[in-house]
A and B are shown apart, each in its own frame.
Chain A
Amino acid sequence: EVQLVESGGGLVQPGESLRLSCAASGLTVSSNYMNWVRQAPGKGLEWVSVIYSGGGGTYYADSVRGRFTISRDNSKNTLYLQMNTLRPEDTAVYYCARGYFFNYFDHWGQGTLVTVSS
């Protein structure tokens, strides 16, 4: 059974940084297209970033490019999202999700809440 467990969310001030983690079991992070998808309170879903299987190429939504960095630790089978220069509009629940290649998302974690506020 696939399990994705996010952690690392919390309350930070604008301009600060935070790193999210997603520990995976039942799948190998390095062999899959792993994504971060976020959902602002009461709002819809927004894809944030993907790291490709194998070589680990990355891709970002325009809204976070240059501020967020997706990465993985193969030895820990864990996905990360480093978020720098956070803005109030980054406030959201952040989900990690396994992508069927760069397509739809068939396994999701339970999410971790990031709140950016002064």
Chain B
Amino acid sequence: DIQMTQSPSTLSASVGDRVTITCRASQSISSRLAWYQQKPGKAPNLLIYKASSLESGVPSRFSGSGSGTEFTLTISSLQPDDFATYYCQQYNSDSTFGQGTRLEIK
């Protein structure tokens, strides 16, 4: 099984900050990685697929990069609506998610 490890587990930031979340795969997954945002009591929402492709309707302040085993999600200027938990997901071999990164207000 491919393991996905996100860092940090919790991130404190302020509105307007630029933040980056990292996701590492235990083996190469090419660019077969997605990012999701989840708010409390709600279903996850797809942000990025194929490592760097922005899902329709997602604000352009979200971007993704990486390939192989290391990937990043960047939010260029945090907005109040962005405080949530973020998950990466590999779909190169079955499907596994990272443990999540909680983005909280500083």
- Report whether B43 and A95 are in contact in the complex, using a CB–CB cutoff of 8 Å: yes
- Report whether A104 and B49 are in contact in the complex, using a CB–CB cutoff of 8 Å: yes
Q: Which of B12-20, B67-75, B93-101 lies at the binding interface?
A: B93-101
Residues of chain A with a CB closer than 8 A to B91's CB:
102-104
Q: What 0/1 pattern do residues 62 to 79 of A give for CB contact below 8 A with B?
A: 000000000000000000
Known contacts A45-B87, A100-B49; decide if A105 and B94 are in contact (CB<8 Å).
no
Quick one: which of B73-106 are within 8 Å of A by CB? 87, 89, 91, 94-100
We find that the number of chain B residues with CB closer than 8 angstroms to chain A is 20
Quick one: which of A45-89 are within 8 Å of B by CB? 45-47, 61
Known contacts A103-B32, A106-B55; decide if A47 and B94 are in contact (CB<8 Å).
yes
B46 proximal to A (CB < 8 A): yes
B34 proximal to A (CB < 8 A): yes
Residues of chain B with a CB closer than 8 A to A109's CB:
43
Least CB distance from A67 to B in Å reads: 18
Residues of chain B with a CB closer than 8 A to A44's CB:
87, 97-100
- Report whether A47 and B97 are in contact in the complex, using a CB–CB cutoff of 8 Å: yes
Known contacts A45-B89, A103-B32; decide if A111 and B43 are in contact (CB<8 Å).
yes
A31 proximal to B (CB < 8 A): no
Partner of A105, one of B44, B99, B100: B44
Known contacts A44-B87, A44-B100, A45-B89; decide if A104 and B94 are in contact (CB<8 Å).
no
Residues of chain A with a CB closer than 8 A to B100's CB:
44-45
- Report whether A103 and B96 are in contact in the complex, using a CB–CB cutoff of 8 Å: no
**B residues engaging A (CB < 8 A)?**
32, 34, 36, 42-46, 49, 55, 87, 89, 91, 94-100
Q: Which 8 A-B pairs have the closest CB atoms?
A: A104-B34, A108-B43, A47-B95, A45-B97, A103-B91, A104-B49, A44-B99, A44-B100
**Please, could you name 10 A-B residue pairs with CB atoms under 8 Å apart, sorted by A?**
A45-B89, A45-B100, A46-B97, A61-B94, A95-B44, A103-B32, A104-B46, A105-B46, A108-B44, A108-B45
